């Protein structure tokens, strides 16, 4: 996909953004559900969802504001794609993009990371072209909201799935075993299970999110994290054991997570999914609606 759109403060009601992609043809992109962005409350929820990604990466990390962006890294975990990245790119960035990008790549390498990962939420066509010309892979992430209004969230069904908070070292060991069976991390990048859990534990200890296990009967079949914000329950890092996929576990778990967030006073739940990825279909079946998009730019520096 060669386009993106995001929510901006002046984007009410829904507008169309024409953004040139890497191909010669430009594409018109509009919000898929005009009502989602037409209501001020929903607009605030979308903004909170977009901001929640930056908050997640800042949790337990060292943060440095640099010209046109913010670099975040977790000491000792920079080798993870999620352990070192650049975010909050300034929409009106008018720097010499090639030299700016090269300087950031050198900083990333000095921190011990082999991944250059940038998150872009606002249009900057010159910078986008710079990423493409320098060998970056573009991945479109879809932001989704569940306002507890869709019938998909609360359809009656036999209860097969339960959610259990991770409280003990035994629980963390069970979660580790789950991640060891998964070849690709929740963020779409390969990550050693031990390092990934170390990162999650630090972010949980920092107070950003709460870890849970997903059970079917006595079997742990998945895990996720939940962050409770001002109005939004942010679902993060949902994984399902390969042996339990395509059996409805993920959909039921996501519906239960929505109920859990609502019980804690949240107005909605939100998450991100890779466009055209299997989790996108899962969330939509569970009652989530696409409301915005952001772009991840990635390049291996190995």
Decide the pairing of beta strands 268-274 and 232-240.
Answer: parallel
- Kindly report the pTM of this predicted structure: 0.85
Asked whether the beta carbons of 254 and 286 are under 8 A apart, the reply is yes
3-state secondary structure of 86: strand
Asked whether the beta carbons of 24 and 32 are under 8 A apart, the reply is no
Q: How far is CA 53 from CA 122, 235, 248, 297, in A?
A: 14, 11, 27, 15
3-state secondary structure of 136: coil
Query: What pLDDT is attached to residue 125?
Result: 85
Asked whether the beta carbons of 213 and 164 are under 8 A apart, the reply is yes
Query: What pLDDT is attached to residue 184?
Result: 83
CA distance linking residue 4 with residue 156, whole number of Å: 35
CA distance linking residue 129 with residue 34, whole number of Å: 29
Least Cα distance to 17 among 30, 8, 34, 7 occurs for: 30
Domain parsing of the chain, residue ranges: 16-142, 151-291
Q: How far is CA 19 from CA 16, 119, 218, 299, in A?
A: 10, 17, 49, 22
Does 151-291 match 16-142 at the fold level?
yes
Q: Mean pLDDT of successive 10-residue segments in the chain (302 residues)?
A: 37 28 29 48 91 97 94 97 94 74 95 96 87 95 86 53 97 97 88 96 98 96 97 96 91 94 96 92 93 95 92
- The CA-based angle 129-130-136, given to 5 degrees, is 95
CA distance linking residue 258 with residue 262, whole number of Å: 6
Neighbours of 34 (CB within 10 A): 10
3-state secondary structure of 102: helix
**Distance in angstroms between the alpha carbons of the first and the last residue of the chain:** 26
CATH number of 16-142: 3.40.630
Query: What pLDDT is attached to residue 156?
Result: 53
Neighbours of 22 (CB within 10 A): 12
CATH number of 151-291: 3.40.630.30
């Amino acid at each position: 996909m060669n386009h993106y759109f995001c929510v901006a403060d002046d984007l009410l009601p829904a507008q169309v953004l024409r953004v040139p992609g890497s191909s010669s043809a430009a594409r018109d992109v509009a919000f898929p559900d005009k009502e989602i962005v037409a209501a001020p409350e929903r607009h605030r929820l979308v903004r909170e969802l977009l901001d929640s990604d930056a908050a997640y990466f800042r949790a337990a990390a060292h943060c440095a504001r640099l010209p046109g962006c913010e670099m975040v890294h977790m000491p000792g975990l920079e080798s993870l794609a999620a352990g070192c990245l650049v975010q909050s790119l300034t929409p009106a960035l008018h720097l010499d993009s090639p030299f700016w990008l090269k300087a950031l790549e050198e900083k990333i390498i000095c921190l011990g990371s082999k991944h250059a990962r940038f998150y872009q939420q606002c249009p900057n066509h010159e910078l986008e072209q710079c990423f493409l010309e320098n060998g970056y892979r573009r991945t479109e992430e879809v932001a989704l909201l569940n306002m507890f209004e869709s019938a998909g969230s609360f359809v009656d069904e036999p209860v097969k799935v339960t959610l259990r908070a991770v409280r003990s070292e035994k629980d963390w060991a069970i979660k580790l075993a789950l991640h060891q069976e998964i070849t690709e991390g929740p963020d779409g990048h390969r990550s050693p299970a031990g390092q990934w859990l170390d990162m999650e534990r630090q972010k949980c200890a920092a107070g950003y999110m709460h870890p849970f296990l997903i059970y079917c009967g006595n079997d742990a079949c998945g895990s996720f994290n939940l962050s409770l914000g001002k109005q939004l329950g942010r679902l993060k890092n949902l994984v399902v054991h390969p042996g339990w996929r395509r059996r409805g576990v993920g959909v039921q778990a996501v519906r239960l997570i929505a109920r859990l967030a609502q019980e804690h006073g949240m107005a909605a739940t939100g998450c991100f999914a890779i466009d055209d990825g299997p989790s996108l279909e899962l969330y939509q079946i569970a009652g989530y609606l696409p409301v915005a998009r952001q772009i991840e730019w990635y390049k291996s520096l190995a």
